[in-house]
Amino acid sequence: MQATAALFLARPLPQPHYRCLHGVRGGVSLPPPRRLARGPRCSMSLSIGGSGAGAGGDRGFSYEHVPVFPRYRMRDPYKLLGVDRAASEEEIRSARNFLIQQYAGHEPSEEAIEGAYEKIIMKSYQQRKKTKINLKTKLKKRVEESPSWVKALLGYFEVPPMDIISRRLFFFAFIAGWSIATSAENGPAFQLAISLFSCIYFLNDKMKNLMRASTTGFGVLVGGWIIGSLLVPLIPTFIIPPSWSLELLTSLVAYVFLFLGCTFLK
């Protein structure tokens, strides 16, 4: 019994043998490969912006063709916006806003519309600026076409630079304020004298003739005082402060005439 068991254990075990449709590799037969079972195909339709979109989809968005402004390549800004050259700024602005809303999303169209609008506005601004510059030329032309007596009258006046006008206006405004501040103590006689001498000094600086400057300054003071004495009683009393006397109000009118005389007379 023991001898039979030893003989059985001594026998070599048989080698496993695997069949393979593709042959034997390395002395070992491989089992045939198993084919994977094909399941049913899955097809999916993606609808963006439709009613059947899922919770994670983009609602309200549609990949539609963005409208292109057909005239965005035109160079004439008026034709590009579709407005007349005599159109007002309000009409031009309305046309620009309408086109921007219609063709929003197409960048070249928006840039062309904005550029045309800016060109028209800039051109309008330059025209207004030229009109203001030419105002002095037009006024000079009107004076040249006016009658001879008007030319003779205007020949006595001139317009100095703005710095001279501002300095003299500040000086006479200071004299007027000084007169108002001291009106309760005494009259404006001292301030009137200073204003007269200052006017004569300014006129002599232009006329280079002291006698003529003195006569002109004194005449301006007398004329201003007379006109002031005629105009002041016509002013309603509720406008004038109670502390202001008739003499003070007349002197204020005289200051105005002295300022105009020494500034604009030749």
* pLDDT, tens digit, 9 for 90 and up, residues 170-195: 999 999 999 998 887 777 889 999 99
Domain boundary among 144, 177, 196: 144
pTM: 0.49
Evaluate whether residue 151 is within a structural domain. no
Domain span at residue 139 reads 77-144
* Helix, strand, coil percentages, rounded to 5, for the chain: 60, 0, 40
Q: Say yes or no: 224 and 137 in one domain.
A: no
Q: Say yes or no: 103 and 179 in one domain.
A: no
Q: How far is CA 109 from CA 73, 87, 116, 144, in A?
A: 9, 22, 11, 52
Q: Say yes or no: 138 and 164 in one domain.
A: no
Is pLDDT at 47 greater than 50 in this prediction? no
Evaluate whether residue 129 is within a structural domain. yes
Evaluate whether residue 138 is within a structural domain. yes
Q: Say yes or no: 251 and 184 in one domain.
A: yes
- Number of structural domains (the chain) is 2
Q: Residue 139 maps to which CATH number?
A: 1.10.287
Is pLDDT at 245 greater than 60 in this prediction? yes
Q: Say yes or no: 139 and 193 in one domain.
A: no
Q: Say yes or no: 163 and 233 in one domain.
A: yes
CA 50 to CA 254: how far, in whole Å? 85
Q: Say yes or no: 201 and 230 in one domain.
A: yes
* 221's tokens: 């003071």
Whether 216 contacts 203, CB under 8 Å: yes
pLDDT in tens, 228-240: 999 888 888 888 8
Average pLDDT score over residue span 237-263: 89
Domain boundary among 144, 164, 181: 144
Q: Say yes or no: 176 and 252 in one domain.
A: yes
Q: Minimal CA–CA distance to 193: which of 255, 141, 151, 247? A: 255
Evaluate whether residue 136 is within a structural domain. yes
The pLDDT of residue 131 is: 65
Q: Say yes or no: 254 and 170 in one domain.
A: yes
Domain boundary among 144, 165, 185: 144
Is pLDDT at 215 greater than 90 in this prediction? yes
Q: Say yes or no: 83 and 166 in one domain.
A: no
- pLDDT tier at 227, thresholds 50, 70, 90: very high
Evaluate whether residue 41 is within a structural domain. no
pLDDT in tens, 4-41: 544 444 555 555 544 444 444 444 444 554 544 444 44
- pLDDT tier at 146, thresholds 50, 70, 90: confident
pLDDT in tens, 68-126: 888 878 888 888 888 888 888 888 889 889 988 888 888 888 888 888 889 888 888 88
CA 203 to CA 262: how far, in whole Å? 5
Is pLDDT at 211 greater than 50 in this prediction? yes
Q: Say yes or no: 160 and 260 in one domain.
A: yes
Q: Say yes or no: 249 and 168 in one domain.
A: yes
